[in-house]
Amino acid sequence: MINNQTDKGVLFIISAPSGAGKTTLCRYVRERFTDMVYSISYTTRALRPGDVEGADYYFITKDEFERGILNSQWAEWAEVHGNYYGTSATFLDRILNKGGKVLLDIDVQGSQQILKCHPQAVTIFIMPPSLDELRSRLQNRASDSPEIIAKRIKNAILEMEMRHQYRHIIVNDRLNDAVERLLSVIERYYTDTISVFPR
């Protein structure tokens, strides 16, 4: 895998606890920066109603994924509830070496793995205004059981404790304000053509 110190492009990593609004914020980023390439993960889980191959995930078999592990195919990967999820190292290197911008929507553990190969990636952590607000958002989804919500809250606490490992922290209190702050951060890296560390 190619170290990001020699990459010509910029890799943006956005992480957040479940319910903090990461998916919505990433959608605004993709709408504003239309040349940015969104990294689609590979998974071994079964397709669900509404899933689109190549848009939501690339769906592959467990054997294929495990061969990828042995062949160092994944820039980051994890096993969640018996299914594998991973990001293609080849994909990232190809786009970045062409000078492209890549958006990765991954969790804290995935971010830590990516940074081993791409230490200059621009890392952004999305925070909820409070745990109470996060719990309310998860409950309003009406898609998870109380047990699952409790587990998500527990994971959120652990993830938020690691937020200072990220270069930028954005609190998603009011959506419009959070969108504005996030787009402003990314815009700085677009306009700084000399260094990926804007002042």
Domains, the chain: 4-191 (3.40.50.300)
Chain centroid, CA 182 distance in Å: 14
Cα–Cα distance measured from residue 160 to residue 173, given in angstroms and rounded to the nearest whole number: 15
- Which strands sit side by side in the sheet containing 58-59, from one edge to the other? 58-59, 42-43, 83-88, 74-80
The pair of three-digit structure tokens given for residue 36, joined into one six-digit string? 């940015």
Q: Rounded to whole angstroms, how far apart are CA atoms 12 and 1?
A: 18
For residue 105, the SS3 value is strand
Q: What pLDDT, in 10s, does the model give residues 8-21?
A: 799 999 999 988 98
CA distance 41 to 60: 11
Name the pTM for this structure. 0.84
State yes or no: pLDDT of 197 exceeds 60. no
- Could you count the other beta carbons within 10 Å of the beta carbon of residue 17? 25
Q: 36-62 in b/e burial notation, b at 16+ Cβ within 10 A?
A: bbebbbbbbeeeeeeeeeeeebeeeee
pLDDT in tens, 159-186: 999 999 999 999 999 999 999 999 999 9
